[in-house]
Amino acid sequence: MADASQYKLFAFNIGDGVEWLVNWIQTHLPGLLDGIAGVIDFIVSNLEHLLLWVNPLVMAAIIVIFGFWRAGVGFGIFCIVAMLLFFQMTLWPETMSTLALVLASSFVALAIGMPVGVAMARNDMVERIVRPILDLMQTMPPFVYLIPAAIFFGLGKVPGTIATVIFAMPPAVRLTNLGIRQVNEENIEAGLAFGCTPRQLLRKVQLPLAMPSIMQGINQTIMLSLSMVVIASMIGAGGLGNTVLTGIQRLNVGLGFEGGLGVVLIAIVLDRITQTFGTGHSSRVGLWARVRQALGSGGDSQEAGSTS
């Protein structure tokens, strides 16, 4: 068998290079790392405290009402069942912890990703630079960047969030870019013809018309961050991922299933609710309209509500 190193052109070792870079960042930019850690810790911890501070019954009721309002009666009932399942599995604190992690990393991913998407849409050069970076972020196995994340930020929720952000951000960037680029040319012309400045064009024409696509991106980002939950728990992010991880380590099928089911239920609830925000004004059914239609005071409106 041939020596794998026989075709190597330079003495330089790529792995060593990356290691050197990680060390360099750690020794020379501790302030930056601490800053990032501080901000992310602030967001995740406070969100988690908030979600756990609210009485579980109240929290469950809020989620059910939200599902009922945004996605209709059938989905409201599904939410009730999902909440009862969480209580039955006694996984409420883990669920809230996961929800906090997902919402926080989605928030950070969108806060960075959407402006990048806008910049990409407005400038072809930016698009050419950002696109390969997005490819890298999406295809690099997440386990690989768990290592530097743990080195930089130790174990816990912060590196878990950062790894999740890296994994979940690309669709938000891509779909924001795509949405803005796909806005009908005549609408852009209309904006310009009536005297929009570039900023007004973005705010009054491009972003609103790109909204369905941007909402798809937000939805995808949330879904992807949920799929990172188990992996992130390997560096101590906790939550339902930890339940699954424990199940794997102890070969406890039941525990693993419970954790997995929890993740699936959160995914369905978040997916259905966020989907409803991308479909424009026609889906803006008021909460009272939903209540009326639930009470059956209009078969027609129920029909109309369920098609949106």
Q: Tell the residue number behind the tokens 């019954």, with chain if given.
A: 57
Taking the complex as a whole, how short is the minimal distance between the CB of residue 282 and other proteins, in angstroms?
7
Could you tell me which of 260, 251, 236 has the C-alpha nearest to residue 95? 260
CA distances from 174 to 137, 207, 214 (A): 12, 14, 9
Q: Which is nearer to other proteins, 137 or 192 (CB)?
A: 192
Taking the complex as a whole, how short is the minimal distance between the CB of residue 136 and other proteins, in angstroms?
33
Q: Which is nearer to other proteins, 190 or 253 (CB)?
A: 190
Q: Which is nearer to other proteins, 191 or 256 (CB)?
A: 191
What number of other Cβ atoms are within 10 A of residue 254's Cβ? 9
Q: Which is nearer to other proteins, 61 or 211 (CB)?
A: 211
Taking the complex as a whole, how short is the minimal distance between the CB of residue 133 and other proteins, in angstroms?
29
Taking the complex as a whole, how short is the minimal distance between the CB of residue 198 and other proteins, in angstroms?
9
Q: Which is nearer to other proteins, 190 or 264 (CB)?
A: 190
Interface residue list for other proteins (CB under 8 A): 184, 186-187, 189-197, 200, 204-205, 208-209, 211, 280-282
Taking the complex as a whole, how short is the minimal distance between the CB of residue 185 and other proteins, in angstroms?
9
Q: Which is nearer to other proteins, 73 or 175 (CB)?
A: 175
Taking the complex as a whole, how short is the minimal distance between the CB of residue 181 and other proteins, in angstroms?
17
Q: Which is nearer to other proteins, 196 or 267 (CB)?
A: 196
Question: Following DSSP, what letter does each residue of the chain receive, concatenated?
Answer: ---TTTT--SS--HHHHHHHHHHHHHHH-HHHHHHHHHHHHHHHHHHHHHHHHS-HHHHHHHHHHHHHHHH-HHHHHHHHHHHHHHHHTT-HHHHHHHHHHHHHHHHHHHHHHHHHHHHHHH-HHHHHHHHHHHHHHHHS-HHHHHHHHHHHH-SSHHHHHHHHHHHHHHHHHHHHHHHHHTS-HHHHHHHHHTT--HHHIIIIIIHHHHHHHHHHHHHHHHHHHHHTHHHHHTTT--THHHHHHHHHHTT-HHHHHHHHHHHHHHHHHHHHHHHGGGS-GGG---HHHHHHHHTTS-HHHHHHHHH-
Taking the complex as a whole, how short is the minimal distance between the CB of residue 8 and other proteins, in angstroms?
44
